[in-house]
Structure 1
Amino acid sequence: MIEMELIGVRVELPANQPIVLLKETGGTRYLPIWIGAVEATAIAFALQGVETPRPLTHDLFVSVLGETGVELTAVHVTDLRDGTFYAELHLRQQDRTWTVTARPSDAIALAARLEDVPVLAAEPVLAEAGLEIDSTDEDGETGVDAEEEVKQFREFLDQVTPSDFEGQG
């Protein structure tokens, strides 16, 4: 499994389709995942620290985990089949560990609400759907900052469509 960094959420135009972008930690590959509008909002709210008057579904789930003493230890993006991504929640309660199947968007929304929950992607998923985006700045230096990564992500989204990923599975 490859550790990923949550870069952000954006709406891809003209299809008006939300997308979440993960970046390989210490690497150059990005993993775009098209998601639903509700999940995109949930992830964006978590990243921006927005607190709603009433808990959203993902906030509720985090509260239930806390009240029952269950810890979300990791999120794994495990598979890509027929254009659909699959994920797992890795959970622990005292000495017991287990996994639960989840949509990547829900899993990422949960991880975004909790501190130190890594998001990992299977190498075959990155090999199939990962994209190399040049992360060098104008001086040829690597390690572009988050603002520059978001700019590059927006430029990427201006050129890519969901049909670019058809037949990958």
Structure 2
Amino acid sequence: MHELKVVEIRVSTGEAVPLVVLEEVAGLHRLLPIWMSHGGASAIFSATEDPDPERPNIHDLAWRLVESGAEDLEAVRIIAYEDGQFYAELVLGSRCVAARPSDAIAFAMRAGCPIQCVDEVLDEAGIDPADGVPPAEAAGADDEVERFREFLDSVNPDDFTGESGES
């Protein structure tokens, strides 16, 4: 099991699919790009801001419910990667609850708990920043890496300002 941290949240005003980039905390410092819906990326981004206690969004509300329970959120785990889809779970004491990776990451950021990833997922979908290629050549992984490279080539700082670029 490897601990990860969020290093980038990319949301474009264009048609590009939002992306969160996780980085391995120790070891090879592999990157794990996860494409997601705009709602998922928004949830992760909102977890970087202070919540509104009077009008919580769904993740803040759900987090309050978890906090009020008997078991604490110990970690979130990215546990599988199949056919281009990532799978995650919340670790609540002795129980694990399935979750979308975007929701799990948003919870981890709000809770301040570790984001973990199983070896097999990093081996298959992780990108070594030293050479930019996946450590293992899995079916479909090359397409995913190529999409990531194309995205990086087409993005510019103005895509992240939320402004239209007009003066």
What range is the shorter-chain TM-score in? 0.7 to 0.9
**Distance change >3 Å, CA 156–CA 46, structure 1 → 2:** farther
| TM score, norm. by length of structure 2 | 0.73
> What is the identity, as a one-letter code, of the residue corresponding to 2:78?
V
Alignment partner of 2:11: what SS?
strand
Alignment partner of 2:122: what SS?
helix
Where in structure 2 are the equivalents of 1:130-149 lying within 5 Å?
130-134=126-130
**Distance change >3 Å, CA 12–CA 79, structure 1 → 2:** farther
Note if 1:58 corresponds to 2:69. no
Aligned to 1:2: 2
Aligned residue among 100, 104, 114 for 1:103: 100
Stretches of structure 1 lacking an aligned partner (at least 5 in a row): 136-153, 161-169
Work out the number of aligned pairs and report it.
137
Aligned to 1:19: 19
What RMSD over aligned residues (CA atoms) do the two structures have, in Å? 2.5
**Distance change >3 Å, CA 82–CA 155, structure 1 → 2:** closer
Higher mean alpha-carbon deviation, 120-129 vs 10-19, is at: 10-19
- 1:69: Cα distance to partner? 2.9
> What is the identity, as a one-letter code, of the residue corresponding to 2:46?
F
Note if 1:159 corresponds to 2:142. no
- 1:155: Cα distance to partner? 8.0
Aligned to 2:84: 83
> What is the identity, as a one-letter code, of the residue corresponding to 2:98?
T
Q: Percent identity?
A: 37
- 1:13: Cα distance to partner? 8.0
Note if 1:123 corresponds to 2:103. no
Which of the pair is proportionally richer in strand? 1
Stretches of structure 2 lacking an aligned partner (at least 5 in a row): 132-147, 155-167
Kept in 2, the 8 Å contact 1:12–1:157? The answer is no
Kept in 2, the 8 Å contact 1:13–1:158? The answer is no
* Cα separation, 1, equivalents of 2:34 and 2:125: 9
Aligned to 2:143: none
Alignment partner of 1:23: what SS?
strand
Alignment partner of 2:78: what SS?
strand
